[in-house]
Chain A
Amino acid sequence: DAGVIQSPRHEVTEMGQEVTLRCKPISGHNSLFWYRQTMMRGLELLIYFNNNVPIDDSGMPEDRFSAKMPNASFSTLKIQPSEPRDSAVYFCASTRQAVGLSYEQYFGPGTRLTVT
Chain B
Amino acid sequence: KQEVTQIPAALSVPEGENLVLNCSFTDSAIYNLQWFRQDPGKGLTSLLLIQSSQREQTSGRLNASLDKSSGRSTLYIAASQPGDSATYLCAAPFGNEKLTFGTGTRLTIIP
A91 touches B104 (CB 8 A): no
- Give, as a whole number of angstroms, the nearest-CB distance from A6 to chain B: 8
The total of interchain contacts (Cβ-Cβ below 8 angstroms) comes to 50
Contact yes or no, B95 A42, CB < 8 A: no
CA distance A38 to B17 in the complex (A): 31
With an 8 Å Cβ cutoff, the count of chain B residues facing the other chain is 24
Cβ contact within 8 Å between A102 and B103: no
What's the least CB distance linking B89 to chain A, in Å? 7
Stretch at the interface among A60-68, A80-88, A107-115: A107-115
Q: How far is the CA of A97 from the CA of B49 in the complex (A)?
A: 14
Residue of B nearest to A31 (CB): B97
Query: Contacts A42-B103, A102-B51, A104-B34 hold; do A56 and B46 have CB atoms under 8 A apart?
Result: no
Task: List, sorted by A's number, 6 A–B pairs whose CB atoms are closer than 8 Å.
Answer: A42-B101, A43-B89, A93-B44, A102-B51, A104-B49, A105-B46
* Interface residues, chain B, with chain A CB atoms under 8 Å away: 31-32, 34, 36, 42-46, 49, 51, 89, 91, 93, 95-104
